[in-house]
Structure 1
Amino acid sequence: MIREANVQDADVLAILLEQLGYENTSSFLPARIQTLLEHPDASLAVYETEGRVVALLCLHVIPQIALLGPFLRISYFVVDETMRSVHIGATLEAYALDVARKKGCDRIEVHCHERRKDAHRFYARCGYVESPKYFVKNLHVRSEDA
Structure 2
Amino acid sequence: MEFKTATIDHLPAIVRLLADDELGATRERFEEPLPLQYIEAFEKIMQQVGNSIIVALDNEEVIGCLQLTLIPGIARLGMTRAQIEGVRVVRSYRSKGVGEALFRYAMDVAKANGCGMIQLTTDKQRKEAHRFYERLGFVASHDGMKLLLSD
TM-score, length of structure 1 as denominator length: 0.90
User: Sequence identity of aligned pairs in percent?
Assistant: 29
Supply the distance in 1 between the matched residues of 2:53 and 2:5 (Cα, whole angstroms). Answer: 6
1:46 and 2:55 are equivalent in the alignment = yes
Supply the distance in 2 between the matched residues of 1:59 and 1:16 (Cα, whole angstroms). Answer: 16
SS at 2:76's partner residue?
coil
1:105 and 2:109 are equivalent in the alignment = no
Supply the distance in 2 between the matched residues of 1:100 and 1:58 (Cα, whole angstroms). Answer: 12
- 1:51 deviates by 2.2
After superposition, the CA RMSD in angstroms is 1.4
Supply the distance in 2 between the matched residues of 1:81 and 1:62 (Cα, whole angstroms). Answer: 30
Supply the distance in 1 between the matched residues of 2:43 and 2:14 (Cα, whole angstroms). Answer: 13
Match of 2:4 in 1: 3
Contact 1:74 1:109 in 2 (8 A): yes
Match of 1:56 in 2: 65
SS at 2:91's partner residue?
coil
Q: Which runs of 5+ in 2 are unaligned?
A: none
Which contiguous aligned blocks of 4+ residues in structure 1 show a shift greater than 6 angstroms? none
Match of 2:42 in 1: 33
Match of 2:100 in 1: 90
Q: Which amino acid aligns with 2:132?
A: F
Name whichever of 7-16 and 21-30 sits farther off: 21-30
Supply the distance in 1 between the matched residues of 2:87 and 2:149 (Cα, whole angstroms). Answer: 23
Aligned length: 141
Q: Which runs of 5+ in 1 are unaligned?
A: 142-146
Q: Return the structure number with greater helix share.
A: 2
Match of 1:144 in 2: none
Match of 1:19 in 2: 20
- 1:58 deviates by 0.5
